[in-house]
Structures are given as C-alpha cells and as structure tokens.
C-alpha cells in the first residue's frame, strides 16, 4: 500500500534476477548500432551495479544471445527514430531500455 500511495499511483515491478551478482551489461546504441558495451559488476556482497554504490566497470564482449538482442532492439530504435538508446541486460535477458527524448 505504501508504494502505491493507497492504490492511487501505479508502480512497475520486475522479478529479482539473482544472477545480478555476476554483473549487468550496459550497451549504448547510436542510430540502432551498438557502439559501447560495458559490464557493471557489483562489489562483493552487494547486488547494486551502480558505480556510486561501489560497482566496477569493465569492457565486455557480447555473447551471441546478447548480440541478437541488441540487433533486434537496435532495429526497432532506428525504425522509431530513437537516435541514442542504452539497454541493460542481466543474464542475457533485457532488463531495461533507456532513451532520450
């Protein structure tokens, strides 16, 4: 009830991905093409991949499944005129799409 302010506001939830301890992949797309791929790895004992929470940032080579995901999302973004987009992937599954307006 607290999160919805007595059911007056909507909330979005997602299933917790315990594999987050292995890190989260961040892919930056420009005009539908992946240009930067990074891995954010939480510090030991944490589940937070935010750099300000102590996570480390490394380069990352996309797995075949991640690459396919980026191609599909990139194609959609280009079709919709979304020039700059960032996507987050946990355990080869899309967790978030960030886009500029």
pTM for the whole structure = 0.85
User: How high does pLDDT run on average in the chain?
Assistant: 93
Query: How much is the pLDDT for 101?
Result: 62
The span from the CA of 1 to the CA of 42, in Å, is 30
Condensed to tens digits (0 to 9), the pLDDT of residues 76-87 reads: 999 999 999 999
């Amino acid at each position: 009830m607290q999160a919805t302010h007595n059911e007056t506001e909507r909330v979005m939830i997602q299933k917790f991905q315990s594999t987050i301890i292995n890190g989260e992949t961040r892919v930056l797309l420009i005009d539908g093409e992946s240009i930067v791929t990074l891995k954010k790895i939480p510090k030991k004992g944490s589940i937070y991949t935010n750099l300000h929470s102590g996570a480390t940032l490394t380069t990352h080579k996309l797995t075949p499944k991640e690459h396919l995901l980026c191609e599909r999302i990139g194609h959609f973004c280009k079709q919709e005129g979304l020039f700059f987009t960032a996507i987050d992937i946990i355990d080869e599954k899309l967790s978030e799409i960030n886009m500029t307006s």
